[in-house]
Each structure stands twice: as C-alpha cells, then as structure tokens.
C-alpha cells in the first residue's frame, strides 16, 4: 500500500459533512445504526440526516502530573436509510470528528514535550441493515470501519474495524427493546466486545427514556418546540500518532464519562437545534508504543463542557 496520511483521507469527509445521522459522535463505543427503526414503522422509503456539532471542554489539571489541558471538537454526520421493502431497511452512517487538544506545561505525558499531541482526526463508516421478522421482532446487522489519528499518521496503521449483530422486540406502541453484540479491533490491542442493550420507552406523552451506545437519555417535552433532557455516556476514542511524534507510531486512548443537561429546539419538523452543558465526571488517557506496551496513564480532574448541535432530517 502506498503511503498516505490520515489528514488527507479525512479532509474529504469533513468538507462534505460526513455521512450519517449518527447520534453518537465518532469514537463513541459501541456504534450501531442511527435508529433501529422497524422498516414497516417508517412513513417514507428514504430517511436522510445531515448534522454538525461542536463541543468545548474547559481547562482542567492533570492528576499526579504537572500541567493542564482543554479540548475542542467539531463533528459532522450524514445518514441515509432506504426501505427496500416492507421488511428490510438498509442504512449507511458516516461521521467525522476533529479534536484539538491544548496542553499547557504537560512535561511528563510524552517527555520532553510540554504539548504531547494536538490535532486528532476520526472518521467512522457504518453500513447496516434492519429486517422485520414479524410485527414484533426484528434483527439488525452491520459493519464498522474507523480511521483515527494525527494528520501525518500512516493510514494503514490507523484503521480498525468490526461489526455488530442483534435483535429487537416491539413490546407495544410505547416500548421497543433491542439486544446484541458488537466486536471491534483496537489500535495495538486485542479485539474489544460490547453488549448492545437498547431501550426506547415512551413513558408518557411527554416523557421518554432511550439508550444509545453505552449511555442513556431521559427527555421531557415541555412544549411543542422545546424538549429538556439529561444524559450520561461512556465515550472512548483512540488515535494513531505519526512518525514525527515524540512516541513514533504510538497510540493515544481517551476515555471519558460526560454527564449533561440540555434543551432541543424544533422550530420546524425537519430541523432541530440542541444545546447542552455539563461535567466530564471521569477522564483517563493511556499512551501506548507501537508494540502495544503502555508508556503512561494519567487522569484529569472533573471539568465542565458545553456543546451545540444542528440537524436536518428529510
């Protein structure tokens, strides 16, 4: 394979807006189809979503290490779903994210640098399918292709992949349950497996509870255009470092648990604007060399974050 850089490959995804209605940002594990909607529940054969989002995590100290850091992220997504017939829906989700890590005096993370890494890119592609067995049961299956790393990281060293499979049961008009398994390779580590446990519960006409990835959201529709929510998720990102890094071809893992409250505004049926804010209650970084041996592990103190997301659906 000819040498190619992550930044060159990801640029096309970022410019076109990336391709799916992924609620979860790239890097969030596990990643499954945007909506595990039964094909016969959808009104139109086509479902398309375009989204863009930004978050900023405020500066926080590194525990047990000198220095501090903050991070800003921009993400975009496009999602396409097509109902092939009354029983089968095909989906394609593509999402891209750019993260800017801003370290200050972090001299022990990757010495001797005080700024061990900075700009990281991530693109995830999820083809999938959902098939209705009968009026209650449906099954879903899909694949995962992910490219994550610094701009100058080698593409061949930055790919991971996997797949997922599961089933769902429509209990009634207000409750749908799903379950399954996701397995995915990691950069310089073993294959990871995650259970898929899905709940979409319309508790009352205004109150809903839904799971997404490794997290959940409780939402309350307070008026026709406004919905309040509280949510918590486990997020996992990993990035390949470049040849020019202080740890040549190493790997950075960023795992965190954000807890947020927010509001979604639906001014028209096909557009929504969401504003959220909260605290990153837990965050841990692992630094590995190109052989998969851990070189450093550090955590940061809890800190606040804010975010905004716009989405078109048609």
> pLDDT category, 18, cuts 50, 70, 90?
very low
- Residues 26, 122: Cα–Cα separation, whole Å: 6
Query: What number is the average pLDDT over the span 295-306?
Result: 95
pLDDT, tens digit, for every residue of 272-281? 999 999 999 9
Show the tokens assigned to 303: 């800190």
- Going through the chain in order, the beta strands assigned E by DSSP cover 46-63, 68-83, 88-104, 119-132, 137-149, 159-172, 175-186, 189-202, 207-211, 215-221, 226-233, 235-240, 251-268, 271-288, 294-300, 303-313
- Residues 184, 37: Cα–Cα separation, whole Å: 23
Between 5 and 74, residue with greater pLDDT: 74
Query: What number is the average pLDDT over the span 251-278?
Result: 96
> pLDDT category, 31, cuts 50, 70, 90?
very low
Q: Is the peptide bond before 30 cis (omega within 30 degrees of 0)?
A: yes
In total, the chain counts a number of residues equal to 314
Between 60 and 86, residue with greater pLDDT: 60
Number of CB atoms found within 10 A of residue 123's CB: 24
Q: What does the pLDDT read at residue 19?
A: 28
Name the phi and psi angles at 156, rounded to 5.
-60, -25
What single-letter DSSP state applies at residue 156?
G
Largest CA distance in the chain: 62
Task: Judge whether 126 and 31 are in contact, CB under 8 Å.
Answer: yes
Between 58 and 21, residue with greater pLDDT: 58
> pLDDT category, 214, cuts 50, 70, 90?
confident
Nearest to 102 by CA among 92, 112, 113, 117: 117
The H-or-E segment that residue 250 falls in is none
Parallel/antiparallel/unpaired status of strands 119-132 and 46-63: unpaired
- Residues 288, 300: Cα–Cα separation, whole Å: 18
User: In the chain, what are the domain boundaries?
Assistant: 6-313
- Residues 261, 307: Cα–Cα separation, whole Å: 10
The structure tokens 């997504």 sit at 77
pLDDT, tens digit, for every residue of 72-125? 999 999 999 999 998 999 999 999 999 999 999 998 888 888 889 999 999 999
Query: What number is the average pLDDT over the span 203-209?
Result: 97
Topology, domain 6-313: Porin (2.40.160)
Question: Mean pLDDT lowest for which of 25-34, 112-121, 204-213?
Answer: 25-34
- Residues 42, 209: Cα–Cα separation, whole Å: 20
Question: Which neighbouring-strand residues pair with 131?
Answer: 88, 139
Name the phi and psi angles at 98, rounded to 5.
-120, 130
> pLDDT category, 158, cuts 50, 70, 90?
very high
Query: What number is the average pLDDT over the span 243-248?
Result: 86
Q: Count Cα neighbours of 273 within 13 Å in the Cβ-side half-sphere.
A: 4
């Amino acid at each position: 394979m000819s040498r190619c850089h992550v930044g060159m490959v990801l640029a096309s995804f970022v410019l076109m807006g990336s391709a799916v209605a992924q609620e979860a940002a790239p890097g969030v594990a596990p990643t499954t189809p945007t909506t595990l909607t039964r094909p016969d529940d959808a009104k139109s054969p086509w479902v398309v979503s375009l989204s863009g989002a930004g978050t900023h995590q405020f500066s926080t100290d590194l525990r047990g290490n000198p220095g501090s850091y903050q991070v800003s992220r921009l993400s975009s997504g496009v999602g396409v779903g097509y109902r092939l017939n009354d029983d089968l829906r095909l989906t394609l989700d593509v999402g891209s994210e750019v993260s800017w890590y801003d370290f200050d005096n972090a001299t022990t993370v990757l010495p001797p640098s005080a700024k061990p890494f900075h700009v990281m890119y991530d693109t995830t592609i999820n083809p999938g399918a959902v098939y209705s067995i009968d009026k209650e049961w449906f099954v879903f299956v899909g694949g995962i292709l992910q490219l994550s790393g610094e701009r100058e990281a080698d593409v061949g060293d930055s790919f991971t992949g996997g797949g997922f499979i599961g089933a769902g049961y429509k209990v009634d008009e207000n409750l749908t349950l799903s379950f399954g398994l996701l397995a995915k390779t990691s950069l310089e580590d073993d294959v990871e497996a995650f259970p898929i446990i899905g709940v979409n519960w319309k508790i009352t006409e205004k109150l809903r509870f839904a799971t997404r990835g490794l997290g959940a959201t409780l939402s309350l529709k307070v008026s026709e255009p406004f919905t309040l929510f509280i949510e918590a998720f486990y997020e996992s990102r990993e990035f390949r470092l470049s040849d020019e890094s202080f740890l040549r071809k190493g790997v950075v893992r960023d795992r965190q648990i954000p807890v947020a409250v927010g509001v979604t505004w639906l001014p028209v049926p096909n557009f929504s604007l969401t504003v959220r804010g909260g605290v990153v209650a837990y965050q841990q970084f692992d630094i590995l060399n190109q052989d998969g041996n851990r070189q450093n592990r550090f955590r940061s103190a809890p800190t606040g974050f804010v975010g905004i997301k716009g989405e078109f659906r048609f």
